[in-house]
């Protein structure tokens, strides 16, 4: 069983826990960033984290694990492998998450939604809506990292391996911008790792 210090140790040893000035996918700014792919690129470390997520839902008869592209694909696959379930993912089409590639959810499916990092929970909420629009049952949500400090609520059992109280600011209220600190934009919907200087 992994506890919060164990998870943080894995993130830090992987170089996934970064400090600086970051533009998040949500549009918010933050002095910390979890670069999930530094841990996901190491199968032995990702497997340990996903095994813990799977353990927390081992008694829930999950037969489908669903994650949003891109990072959620790896997590869905590994958690599904641990649970003996099917792994599928949602991807963006015309700006909205949807199921493609012949993936379907139907009656009798018990779905666990997984995500790597959640700040506002937007992507997780979109995936949950896909499940609710089907005949499948939503079992719960599993997160590697909850950046909201436990404030996220999806209306269903949610398990986060670690919950962090990381500051996030609206761009017009960001103290890092006011200090003229260059910002790094990261994430799959942005420009990748690119430094942007404001002011």
Residue 186: per-residue pLDDT: 66
Residue 25: per-residue pLDDT: 75
- For residue 25, count other CB atoms closer than 10 A to its CB: 16
Residue 187: per-residue pLDDT: 54
Q: Is residue 169 helix, strand or coil?
A: strand
- For residue 173, count other CB atoms closer than 10 A to its CB: 10
Residue 83: per-residue pLDDT: 97
pLDDT tens for the chain, 199 residues long, are 889 899 999 999 999 999 899 998 778 899 988 898 999 999 999 999 999 999 999 999 999 999 999 889 999 999 999 999 999 999 999 989 999 999 999 999 999 999 998 878 899 999 999 999 999 999 999 999 998 888 999 999 999 999 998 888 999 999 999 999 999 876 544 444 443 333 3
Residue 21: per-residue pLDDT: 95
HEC letters along the chain: CCCHHHHHHHHHHCCCEEEEEEECCCCCEEEEEECHHHHHCCHHHHHHHHHHHHHHCCCCCCCEEEEECCHHHHHHHHHHHHHCCEEEEEEEECCEEEECCCCCCCCCCEEEEEEEEECCCHHHHHHHHHHHCCCCEEEEEEEEEECECCCCCCCCCEEEEEECECCCECHHHCHHHHCCCCEEECCCCCCCCEEECCC
Among candidates 118, 120, 54, 59, which has minimal Cα distance to 87? 54
How far is the C-alpha of 120 from the C-alpha of 93, rounded, in Å? 21
Structural domains of the chain, with CATH: 4-196 (3.40.50.2020)
Residue 188: per-residue pLDDT: 46
């Amino acid at each position: 069983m992994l506890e919060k210090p164990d998870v943080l140790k894995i993130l830090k040893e992987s170089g996934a826990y970064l400090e600086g000035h970051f533009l998040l996918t949500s549009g918010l700014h933050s002095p910390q960033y979890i670069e999930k792919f530094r841990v996901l690129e190491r199968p032995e470390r990702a497997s340990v984290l996903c095994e813990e997520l799977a353990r927390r839902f081992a008694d829930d008869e999950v037969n489908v694990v669903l994650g949003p592209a891109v990072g959620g694909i790896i997590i869905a696959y590994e958690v599904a492998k641990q649970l003996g379930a099917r792994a599928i993912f949602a991807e963006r089409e015309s700006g909205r998450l949807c199921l493609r590639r012949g993936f379907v959810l139907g009656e009798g499916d018990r779905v666990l939604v997984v995500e790597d990092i959640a700040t506002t929970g937007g992507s997780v909420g979109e995936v949950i809506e896909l499940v609710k629009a089907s005949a499948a049952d939503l079992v719960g949500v599993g997160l590697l990292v909850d950046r909201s400090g436990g404030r996220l609520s999806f209306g269903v059992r949610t398990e986060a391996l670690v919950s962090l109280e990381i500051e996030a600011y609206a761009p017009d209220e960001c103290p890092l911008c006011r200090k003229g600190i260059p910002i790094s934009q990261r994430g799959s919907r942005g420009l990748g790792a690119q430094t942007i200087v404001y002011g």
